[in-house]
């Protein structure tokens, strides 16, 4: 089974983040770094995360006028350690196209509707279509919309947050799915990834927790 989990480091404690990265490095595909953590660790911190051999997904959810977004993307693209960067599809075609033109080897992921919000499959699908039209590499959507988004493109990358077990605290997430269900619907899709944070590191050993989550789908 391919590695398809990006561990979401949704906090600002850099030392804690490094410990978690070390614990999950043999089981995860990559790490999702938020604004909060990036503000603390900066370029040097990203390099330390990359040293674990994990892909770096910088979740800045960029949203601004096209010129500003283009400059932001150019700056992030200069950080050779970053593979993925998020931009908000709600910024519209002109913004997304400006971002894509500045991205170079950086792969842009369009945020559709946050998993902490309610949304219809059609709403997410429309935003995913905009991301495809803008030549982005993929989107962020809940696993509940996976099939709908995948119907638009076979090669488009789909990153799915809101992954929670039946007994897990749902926290602020509204559109959720278990990891085993996600693996079942995405089957052998090499361009589908689960984004999981708190269920991995909130309680107990992160390395053991991610192993248990993976085993739940075997």
Q: Which of 16, 48, 61, 83 is catalytic?
A: 61
The answer to whether residue 61 is catalytic is: yes
The whole-angstrom separation of Cα 35 and Cα 143 is 23
What does the longest C-alpha to C-alpha distance in the chain come to?
46
The whole-angstrom separation of Cα 84 and Cα 137 is 9
The whole-angstrom separation of Cα 187 and Cα 46 is 31
Residue 153 CB neighbours (<10 A): 16
Which residues make Cβ contacts (< 8 Å) with residue 5, sequence separation at least 6?
27, 28, 29, 179, 193, 194, 195, 196, 210, 213, 214
Burial class (CB in 10 A: 0-12, 13-18, 19+), 151: exposed
Residue whose C-alpha is closest to residue 129's, from 144, 149, 106, 155: 149
- Residues marked active site are found at 61
């Amino acid at each position: 089974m391919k590695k398809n989990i990006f561990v979401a480091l949704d906090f600002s404690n850099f030392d804690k983040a490094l410990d978690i990265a070390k614990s999950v490095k043999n089981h995860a595909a990559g790490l999702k770094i938020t604004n909060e953590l990036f503000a603390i660790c900066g370029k040097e911190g990203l390099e330390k995360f990359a040293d674990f051999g994990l892909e770096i997904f910088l979740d800045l959810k960029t949203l601004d006028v096209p010129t500003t977004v283009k400059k932001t993307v150019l700056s992030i693209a200069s950080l050779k350690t970053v593979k993925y960067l998020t931009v908000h599809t709600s910024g519209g075609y002109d913004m997304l196209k400006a971002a894509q033109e500045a991205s170079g080897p950086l792969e842009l992921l369009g945020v559709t509707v946050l998993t902490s919000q309610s949304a219809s499959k059609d709403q997410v699908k429309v935003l995913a279509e905009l991301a495809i039209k803008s030549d982005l590499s993929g989107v962020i959507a809940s696993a509940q919309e996976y099939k709908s988004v995948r119907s638009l493109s076979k090669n488009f990358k789909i990153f799915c947050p809101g992954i929670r077990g039946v007994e897990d605290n749902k926290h602020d997430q509204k559109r959720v799915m278990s990891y085993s269900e996600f693996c079942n619907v995405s089957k052998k899709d090499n361009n589908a990834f689960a984004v999981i944070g708190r269920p991995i590191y909130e309680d107990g050993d992160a390395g053991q927790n991610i192993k248990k989550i993976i085993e739940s789908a075997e």
